[in-house]
């Protein structure tokens, strides 16, 4: 097959159009084992491309072990290691099961997930729940009694209430909430304050309808939403996943449809190249670290929340969220400049997500791997930063490594000429 520039441009316009036209709707909250494609009771899902057990290290390896213990698949760390090594317990890559993982990810069969349907194309995306405001969380490679109790609290108290409220709603369209949140100062990756408030308000009528039958549970859910401004991140991730997946597998398209991080580096996936991941070294990071930490403490343990960047949010909407300066450093001027540079590597401007500071210009959306190589500009990603001993130690802006795009371009040329 020969793909000339016209064929690629046509395919990219199609891929961009599908991504841009997505209509994500929250339809349910269910246990992961009931809804994730291919999920099995003895499986733990994590971020990154599929790898054998022996390739996992550091905090990501610990997170897998702790996930197995949480699910009751092992009683001790040594037992969990042995069962992963023997294949008695299985490891899955989140993207292969329709979901995305924040930092290390970690899904087990009993954990609740948001079910989001792309009403424009019929495909689904999933994401698990935000664990809470403590920097010590399972997805950051930490597990103790407090972490376990918080996960059980979400599973047994918070998720059932929100599931019932979503059922009563008949489905909650997320794109209008996301659009308004960007207008109110979110970029829907590292800042989700407005998104969480808007979702809380949308859910409130249905929570009140449940109050008489479960006052304690509804009260706890209301409190959890009020106290955790990052709650909406997992909804924006699920929404972005189903929007991006609708643009997959379009012949001749050089548009990127996913990015992922593991303990071993960074990888991207391209619409016209199917399920193949193109890998490279870890991302370059400029971070503002919490007090007491240095750059030597930064440790890569996975991450896929930058599915939001894939659809024109996060680092591609930094100029909508200048308040991030306090959290991840930088300046308003630098954020605006970074945001503007993303237009040089993308196919079009989003018709829903618009940046007030830029005169309501649509966010740059749909990364073209060849534009990345032509300009030398790589995707900017807003993200939290994990520490070598577990836990979150800061936040900042990551840059995807150019090697991933070089590998994808070589494969594209080999396939299409």
Decide the pairing of beta strands 265-270 and 278-280. Answer: antiparallel
Q: Which domain holds residue 169?
A: 5-238
Q: Assign 3-class secondary structure to 135-182.
A: CCCHHHCCCCHHHHHHHHHHHHHHHHHHHHHHHHHCCEECHHHHHHHH
Residue 332 pLDDT: 93
Residue 295 pLDDT: 86
Overall number of domains in the chain: 2
Residue 2 pLDDT: 42
Same domain flag for 311 and 175: no
Beta-bridge partner residues of 269: 258
What the block records as the tokens of 192 is: 């989700």
- pLDDT, mean of each 10-residue run, the chain (417 residues): 75 98 98 98 98 96 98 98 98 98 96 98 98 91 96 97 97 98 97 98 96 94 96 98 98 98 97 97 90 88 96 97 88 95 98 97 98 98 88 90 98 95
Nearest CA to 126 among 149, 148, 109, 138?
Answer: 109
CA–CA dist 28, 109 (Å, integer) = 16
Same domain flag for 154 and 93: yes
Same domain flag for 266 and 205: no
Q: Examine residue 247 and state whether it is found in any structural domain, yes or no.
A: no
CA–CA dist 225, 209 (Å, integer) = 17
Q: Examine residue 248 and state whether it is found in any structural domain, yes or no.
A: no
pTM equals: 0.95
Same domain flag for 83 and 199: yes
CA–CA dist 306, 399 (Å, integer) = 11
Same domain flag for 207 and 261: no
Q: Examine residue 17 and state whether it is found in any structural domain, yes or no.
A: yes
Same domain flag for 308 and 358: yes
Same domain flag for 157 and 121: yes
Residue 66 pLDDT: 98
Same domain flag for 207 and 81: yes
Q: Examine residue 334 and state whether it is found in any structural domain, yes or no.
A: yes
């Amino acid at each position: 097959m020969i793909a000339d520039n016209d064929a690629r441009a046509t395919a990219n316009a199609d891929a961009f159009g599908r991504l841009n036209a997505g209509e994500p709707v929250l339809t349910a909250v269910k246990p992961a084992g009931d809804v994730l494609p291919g999920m099995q009771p003895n499986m733990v899902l994590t971020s990154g491309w599929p790898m054998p057990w022996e390739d996992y290290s550091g905090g990501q390896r610990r997170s897998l072990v702790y996930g197995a213990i949480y699910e009751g698949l092992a009683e001790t760390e040594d037992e969990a290691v042995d069962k992963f090594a023997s294949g008695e317990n299985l490891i899955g890559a989140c993207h292969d099961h329709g979901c995305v993982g924040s930092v290390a990810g970690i899904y087990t069969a009993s954990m609740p997930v948001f079910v989001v349907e792309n009403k424009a194309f019929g495909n689904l995306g999933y994401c698990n729940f935000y664990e809470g405001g403590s920097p010590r969380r399972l997805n950051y490679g930490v597990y103790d009694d407090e972490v376990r109790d918080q996960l059980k609290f979400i599973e047994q108290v918070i998720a059932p209430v929100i599931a019932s409220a979503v059922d009563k709603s008949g489905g909650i369209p997320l794109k209008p909430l996301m659009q308004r949140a960007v207008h109110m100062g979110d970029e829907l990756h590292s800042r989700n304050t407005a998104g969480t408030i808007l979702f809380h308000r949308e859910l409130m009528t249905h929570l009140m309808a449940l109050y008489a039958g479960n006052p304690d549970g509804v009260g706890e859910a209301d409190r959890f939403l009020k106290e955790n401004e990052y709650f909406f991140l997992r909804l924006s991730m699920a929404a972005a996943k189903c929007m991006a997946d609708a643009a997959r597998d379009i012949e001749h398209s050089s548009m990127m449809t996913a990015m992922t991080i593991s303990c071993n580096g960074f990888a991207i996936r391209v619409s016209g190249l199917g399920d193949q991941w193109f890998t490279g070294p870890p991302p370059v990071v400029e971070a503002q670290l919490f007090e007491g930490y240095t750059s030597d403490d930064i440790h890569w343990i996975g991450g896929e929340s930058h599915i939001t960047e894939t659809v024109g949010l996060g680092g591609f909407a930094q100029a909508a969220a200048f308040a991030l300066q306090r959290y991840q450093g930088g300046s308003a001027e630098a954020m605006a400049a970074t945001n503007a540079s993303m237009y040089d590597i993308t196919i079009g401007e989003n018709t829903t997500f618009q940046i007030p500071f830029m005169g309501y210009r649509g966010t740059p959306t749909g990364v073209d791997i060849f534009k990345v190589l032509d300009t030398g500009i790589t995707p900017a990603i807003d993200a939290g930063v994990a520490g070598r001993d577990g836990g979150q130690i800061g936040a900042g802006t990551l840059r995807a490594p150019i090697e991933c795009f070089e590998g994808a371009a070589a494969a594209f040329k080999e396939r299409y000429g």
